[in-house]
Amino acid sequence: MKGNKIDMADKIRILFTGDSITDTSRTELVEGMTKMMAAMGERPGMPGVANPRTDRILGAGYVAVAASILTCEEPGKYEILNRGIAGNRIVDLDARIKNDCINLKPDVLSILVGINGVAHDAVLQNGVDAEKFERVYDSWLTEIKKALPDIKIIMMTPYLLRGPVSEQHWDYFVPQTALRCEVILRLAEKHGATVIDTQKIFTDAYEQTGNVFDWTQDGVHPSPAGHMLMARKWIETFKTL
Amino acid sequence: MADKTRILFTGDSITDADRTNLVRGMQEMMMKMGMGRGDPLQREQRINTILGSGYPMLCAAQLGADFPGKYEIINRGIGGNRVVDLDARVKTDCINLEPDVVSIMIGINDVWHEVNFKNGVSAAKFERVYDSMLAEIKEALPNVKFILIEPYVLKAGATEEQWEYFETETELRRQTTVKLAEKYGAKLLPAQKLFSEAAAKTCATDWSADGVHPTPAGHWMLAKAWLELFLAD
């Protein structure tokens, strides 16, 4: 057991966080696992502490794909955690910055957030405007960099294709999402983070086939193929860090 | 949709990889939202979008990225299944879906459930049922192409106590799989060799946390081998 722990400490810990695109059913599976553990009389994990039983669950999206490829290519080298939660906006990530980010002490942090700040305003009057998005995201990054000065950060831009979920508010979604992308470029520069232009991945893919369902389920959530394109780009970017 | 090549993955928990959990979650949510079970066609379409988090999802992601629009991937793996369980649902979860390609990975629970629950399937019966199931699929779908994935076992948490039994009995199911692949002109994925060699290079738990279920790395290793086999010739 002790040997195991030392082994774990040597691994590079990569933390993914964000919204449903990162979550991809993870929270649902963790909930199921937690219920099962409770039924078997096992104690649930502590917040802010890595838990081997539930941390193994990475969801079914680009995080799981990237983790599978990366750990197959370089076995034993990485520990990968997912803390994406569906529906999250930057303010939600800020609310759980300690337990679900800083206290886990990641070496590399990858974040994809922004679309719910736009979409939740159009649909639920509960969004985060571009100005607040920048202010909170900036403070979030500052707090993380202060607590973990050596951390490497990958910031993924939000993206949109025209599909069932996005077309109703298309004229609002497009410029608003573009504003969030500009913010991300500015903050990446300021905090020395690396940006992945996710919008470009999906725009290019869409131009290739002209069918939104090849790459997304609904214009917002990726198809398995869309997740693969994200994972490939993510690995390529990670290797340049 | 009709033009797409339909690929069906079936098997046990290794193929399931959280799929049935997510299908159950989706169905509970639909009930909560007062949608009931929905109409059967829509229900099936919804279920088909859920591929789990293992090698079938990875294969779907890779094929979708490289050959957009060409393939439709369906997963019907169910955790805990033995060959007799696959045979019990051969109509609804295989033949009636009219797949062009059927990929099967089965055998480890036929061994494991004997150890834990005295509810395994003997090597002789495994061969008899597997053979008859493949024959039935082939008769109903004469043009179907099979990919058979060997069951495999590594020495780790779930298997080390009864290691000799696991090793010997899994090997028997593996040999049956090889024999049946030959008989039905199926492509064979030699999973045991794949996992044994990977484990020898690093350690078993890099590839399977408990000796039975693949890690994410193990799933990608399976997916890569599957894709190579599928795309050959």
For residues B164-169, give the mean pLDDT. 98
> Would you list which residues of chain A are within 8 Å, Cβ to Cβ, of chain B?
25, 28-29, 32, 56-60, 64-65, 67-69, 71-72, 75-76, 80, 205, 208-209, 211, 214-215, 217, 223-229, 231-232
Q: Which of B18, B49, B69 sits opposite A214 (nearest CB)?
A: B69
Which alpha helices (H) appear in chain B, and where do they start and end?
A: 13-16, 19-32, 40-48, 55-66, 83-88, 108-117, 123-140, 163-183, 191-201, 204-207, 216-231
Among the ranges given (A4-18, A127-141, B183-197, B208-222), the one the predictor scored with the smallest mean pLDDT = A4-18
Tally C-beta pairs within 8 A across A and B. 91
Residue A75 tokens read as 């076995």
Q: Which of B57, B203, B218 sits opposite A60 (nearest CB)?
A: B57
Q: Taking the CA of residue B64 as centre, how many other CA atoms within 13 Å lie in the half-sphere pointing to its CB?
A: 28
For residues B53-74, give the mean pLDDT. 98
Q: How far apart are CA B120 and CA B113, in angstroms?
A: 5
Contact criterion met (CB below 8 Å) for B169 and B123: yes
Residue B33: which pLDDT band, with cuts at 50, 70 and 90? confident
For residues B183-187, give the mean pLDDT. 98
Average pLDDT for runs of 10 along chain A of length 241: 47 97 95 88 78 90 98 97 97 96 97 94 90 98 98 98 94 96 98 98 98 96 98 98 95
Strands A194-196 and B5-11, by their bridges, are: unpaired
- CA gyration radius, chain B: 17
* Per-residue pLDDT, A128: 94
Q: Which residues, at least 6 apart from B193, have a Cβ–Cβ distance to it below 8 Å?
A: none
* Per-residue pLDDT, A9: 61
Residue-averaged pLDDT of chain B:
95
What region does B18 belong to: left with phi over 0, alpha with psi -120 to 50, or beta? left
Contact criterion met (CB below 8 Å) for A108 and A66: no
Cα angle: A182, vertex A186, A188; to 5 degrees: 115
What is the full DSSP assignment across B10-76?
A: EESHHHHTTHHHHHHHHHHHHHHTT-TT--HHHHHHHHHT---SSHHHHHHHHHHHHSTTTEEEEE-
Q: Kindly determine whether residue B49 and residue A217, on different chains, have CB atoms separated by under 8 Å.
A: yes
Contact criterion met (CB below 8 Å) for A108 and A15: yes
Q: How far apart are CA A93 and CA A80, in angstroms?
A: 18
